Structure 1
Amino acid sequence: MTLDLVLKNARILLPQRGLVPGRIGVRAGRIAVIADEAEALDARETIDCEGRVVLPGVIDPHVHFGFGSPETDFETESRNAALGGTTSVLSFHRSKDIRDSFAEAHDRAVSQSCIDFGFHFGLTSHLHVETLREISEKFGVSSYKLYMMYKGAAGLAKGFTDIDDGLLYAALREAAAIPGAVLGVHCENVEVIPLLRDPLRAAGRDDLKAWNEQSPDFLEAENVHRVCYFAGKTGATVNIVHLSSKEALDEVRRHRRTPGRPPIHVETCPHYLFLNDESPAGPYAKVNPPVRGQADVEAMWEGVLDGSVTTIGSDHVPRKRSTKDKDIWSASNGFPGTGMILPILLHEGYHRRGVPLERLMQVASGNAAQSYNMPSKGGIEVGKDADLVVVDLDLEKTVDAAVLESYADYSPYEGMTLKGWPVRTLVRGRTVALDGKITEDARREPGGRYLRRL
């Protein structure tokens, strides 16, 4: 058998085996053989990894492509992702009626993305719930998100009139009836936030810690309890997205101890593993839920190590620096990050904390593939897609937004020197990023594929 591609002189991260010297053979975009280094493999192209580590491509299950430049985000942000070793993303799509809007979003992404992609549906109305099975089956989408922080006045400001506990319960009940479906929920009690925020603003506070204090951990934990409790009553599988605090994670652990209840997934983000509320990034690190104190950073790493945290998602939002150059109350929420997941996990997790690569890649790739029904993704195994990242664990680079390809022209990690970076990213056996640059081939023909998951 003649292969399309062989990666040789590699240290390959294999399931249940750790780093193993060897070769990977690729045919028709899939891993066809994993062999010892001494075994000769015939291929049209050979890549010498020079002893570097080969990891499965990162799966980022939480990006907001379209929130920066709606017409071009899938081009710029997929490139940003690929530079950092992210080979698949799940982005959020929401509109008044998803039946009418999805095709255009899908076609634009197919024409622009250099990595593989899927969608979650944002549920903001009873129409979305009533049509959930229809749109799920028609478009192959098995995961959704409901925004508890857009209840009441906060929702009205965004044009959302239906978001309340009734919509939450209805969405959980409907998701429970769709095999394999997962409902993600943004958990913050937005009704209490103004009582805490207004005195801080009146006192003249304008710092990142004040943003944490206006939406403290117990407001996240209270919403987590509500979601998990309703999920248990309806039989729905839920995902607590971008979880940020020890108190909220402990609430999940408590609910998980209930015998026979459906699964509760937990996603945290690289910024909750790396930044705290004293970060010099200031408004550039403003996000919901807020970055917390260092004790919560430690708790998130504990969750990664003990399995309480299921996945890592970036919550990538590619807006411009100008939307951040304001006081903490007026600056926009969110920041870019999909291309930073792997560098942060390698620097902070592998090098500084000694977290095994197997554990890091389980939460950065394998679990997302399993939770979101992507059986061809998430690991280096024969038959899976050849989504591979060649990593130089000793390479040190300083984060520079100017070379990250994003529509966003800043990074909350800008100026930080991190150890451990991708040097080659392959999507289904095709090199899309090499030595910190997107290949000309990937620029001409992006080639990303849509991931139907239902």
Structure 2
Amino acid sequence: MTYDLVLKGGEVVFPGQGVEQATLAVRDGRIAAVLDASERPAARRVLDCRGKHVFPGLIDPHTHIGFGDKENDWDTETRTAALGGVTGLMSFWRGNELLQSTGTWRAEADKHAAVDFGFHFGITSHAHVAELKSAMATHGVLSIKVYLMYKGATGAAKGFTEVDDGLLYAALATGASIPGAVVGVHCENTEVIPFFREPLKSAGRDDLRAWDEQSPGFLETENVFRVAYFGEKAGCPVNIVHMSSAESLDLVRRMRHPNRPPIHVETCIHYLSLSHDEPIGAIGKVNPPLRSQADIDGLWEGVRDGAISTIGSDHVPRKKSTKGPSIWEATAGFPGIAQILPVMIEEGYFKREIALETLAAATSSNVAALYRLPRKGRIAPGYDADFAVVDLDGVTQVQASDYPSNSDYSPYEGKRLRGRVEATVLRGTVLVDNGQWVDEQAPSGRYLHRR
């Protein structure tokens, strides 16, 4: 029997299970067999993975494609993702209406995406809630996001006038009526922020820590309680996206109960690796803000014990020129999709001795399970042949110029992270080999339609 592709003799990372040396055989884009490392099956192509670790391809649950160069982001950002071992991503889609506009945005991705992709719907109005069921059924989207940071004056400045607790509860009640739906929420009490912000600005503060002080962690935690409590009353699972505060995680631990709807938690790599003391100034501006080292350590414990189930990048591919002239005027967010795996390996595996299978679960199988992504996230027969081949002894020296992203900077610029992605395989197609994009490959991403 001849296979299309064989990954020979690697240390295979089975999410949530363990690491075992094995040979992986691929046919027709799927994993056909997990074989003993001693076997030598015939194949049209063989990747020698001896001495390397084979992870399931990463699935980034939190990206903002189109926030950089909208015409080209699907091309540049998905190629950047593949260089980091990411074979799938979920991106937020927001529009005046969802049912009609989503198809156009999907068509752009179909033409240009190098990795598989799916959507979350951004909810900012009651009109969005009214069309949710039909839009979700039509476009195969089971996840939404409510932006509590766009309440009141903050939202009005961006043209959002309906974001309030009533919209939140309406979204939760509708989500509860859709099997498999998950309502994600950006938790940040913007109504209290001016109390802290104005004295900081008056004092002439323009440092990264000031951005944390104007929106301290307890403002996230207060919103987490509101979301989880409303979710319980509405009977709807909730997902606290990009959690930044250890206090917020402690609250979730206390509120979880077997007889209540699940409270899922996602964090992002910057909340696990960058503090408000980083010497990067406005480059580090993000919402919610970067926090203290104590918050970083507390969130890592949540990754270790499973209280945090998914990890993403919150990738925003804007230019460095938008990050100023001061922290108050700078845009929020930064790129990071290509650094997920090196950060996990450096900060999680090497520095904190968190098992590789735990990290793989948070970046692959848990994402696939939460968002009901078919045939994704595991290394087992019948699943899509999506892999990231990693040299743990290799080094990723972060340079923005090494990636095709529209963004021309990185908050990790110059950092030396242990772990190097050697190869990326998407449904049996080698997209990246020896750390380099395989130029002859046409756009190969497919839409992740969910039911």
Q: TM-score, normalised by structure 1?
A: 0.98
Letter of the 2:178 partner, please give it.
I
**Residue 11 of structure 2: aligned partner:** 11
Percent identity between the two aligned chains = 54
Mapping for residues 112-127 of structure 1, pairs under 5 Å: 112-127=112-127
**Residue 63 of structure 1: aligned partner:** 63
Distance 1:195 1:14 in 2: 48
Letter of the 2:79 partner, please give it.
R
Mapping for residues 383-398 of structure 1, pairs under 5 Å: 383-398=382-397
Q: Is the 8 A contact 1:116 1:448 kept in 2?
A: yes
Q: Is the 8 A contact 2:85 2:341 kept in 1?
A: yes
**Residue 103 of structure 1: aligned partner:** 103
Distance 1:113 1:328 in 2: 33
**Residue 405 of structure 2: aligned partner:** 406
The question of 1:451 aligning with 2:448 is answered yes
Q: Is the 8 A contact 1:281 1:413 kept in 2?
A: no
Unmatched tracts of structure 2, length 5 or more: none
Letter of the 1:306 partner, please give it.
D
Letter of the 2:34 partner, please give it.
I
Tell me, what secondary structure is at the counterpart of 1:431?
strand
Q: Is the 8 A contact 2:284 2:290 kept in 1?
A: yes
Distance 2:26 2:2 in 1: 10
Distance 1:21 1:98 in 2: 46
**Residue 424 of structure 2: aligned partner:** 425
Distance 2:18 2:234 in 1: 39
Distance 1:397 1:123 in 2: 37
**Superposed CA offset, 1:250-269 (max 9, x none):** 11112103x41111110000
**Residue 252 of structure 2: aligned partner:** 252
Q: Is the 8 A contact 1:57 1:85 kept in 2?
A: yes
Q: CA deviation at 1:367?
A: 0.5
Q: Is the 8 A contact 1:139 1:452 kept in 2?
A: yes
**Residue 40 of structure 2: aligned partner:** 40
Distance 1:17 1:140 in 2: 30
Distance 2:46 2:213 in 1: 54
Change in 2 beyond 3 A, CA 1:323/1:260: same
Letter of the 1:285 partner, please give it.
G
Q: CA deviation at 1:17?
A: 4.8
The question of 1:367 aligning with 2:366 is answered yes
Tell me, what secondary structure is at the counterpart of 1:254?
helix
Mapping for residues 151-162 of structure 1, pairs under 5 Å: 151-162=151-162
Tell me, what secondary structure is at the counterpart of 1:441?
coil
Letter of the 2:394 partner, please give it.
L
Distance 1:39 1:117 in 2: 34
Q: CA deviation at 1:69?
A: 0.6
Letter of the 1:22 partner, please give it.
A
Distance 2:15 2:407 in 1: 36
Q: CA deviation at 1:15?
A: 4.9
Letter of the 2:443 partner, please give it.
P
Mapping for residues 260-339 of structure 1, pairs under 5 Å: 260-339=259-338
Change in 2 beyond 3 A, CA 1:303/1:412: same
Q: CA deviation at 1:16?
A: 5.8
Q: Is the 8 A contact 2:15 2:365 kept in 1?
A: no
**Residue 169 of structure 1: aligned partner:** 169
Distance 1:275 1:237 in 2: 29
Q: Is the 8 A contact 1:66 1:74 kept in 2?
A: yes
Letter of the 1:336 partner, please give it.
P
Q: TM-score, normalised by structure 2?
A: 0.98
Q: CA deviation at 1:40?
A: 2.9
**Residue 78 of structure 2: aligned partner:** 78
Q: Is the 8 A contact 2:93 2:120 kept in 1?
A: yes
Q: CA deviation at 1:313?
A: 1.2
Letter of the 2:51 partner, please give it.
G
Letter of the 1:248 partner, please give it.
S
CA RMSD of the aligned region, Å?
1.0
Q: Is the 8 A contact 1:432 1:441 kept in 2?
A: no
Distance 2:419 2:52 in 1: 11
Tell me, what secondary structure is at the counterpart of 2:33?
strand
Q: CA deviation at 1:95?
A: 0.2
Q: Is the 8 A contact 1:231 1:238 kept in 2?
A: yes
Q: CA deviation at 1:441?
A: 2.2
Q: Is the 8 A contact 1:10 1:53 kept in 2?
A: yes
Tell me, what secondary structure is at the counterpart of 1:99?
coil
* Higher mean displacement: 11-20 or 48-57: 11-20
Mapping for residues 432-447 of structure 1, pairs under 5 Å: 432-442=431-441, 445-447=442-444
Letter of the 2:93 partner, please give it.
H
**Residue 20 of structure 1: aligned partner:** 20
Change in 2 beyond 3 A, CA 1:15/1:211: closer
Tell me, what secondary structure is at the counterpart of 1:289?
coil
Q: Is the 8 A contact 2:15 2:364 kept in 1?
A: no
Tell me, what secondary structure is at the counterpart of 1:425?
strand
Q: Is the 8 A contact 2:342 2:396 kept in 1?
A: no
The question of 1:181 aligning with 2:144 is answered no
**Residue 380 of structure 1: aligned partner:** 379
Q: Is the 8 A contact 2:16 2:361 kept in 1?
A: no
**Superposed CA offset, 1:249-305 (max 9, x none):** 111112103x41111110000000000000012211110000001100001101101
Distance 2:268 2:181 in 1: 22
Distance 2:332 2:322 in 1: 9
**Superposed CA offset, 1:402-430 (max 9, x none):** 01211000000001011101110001111
Change in 2 beyond 3 A, CA 1:429/1:96: same
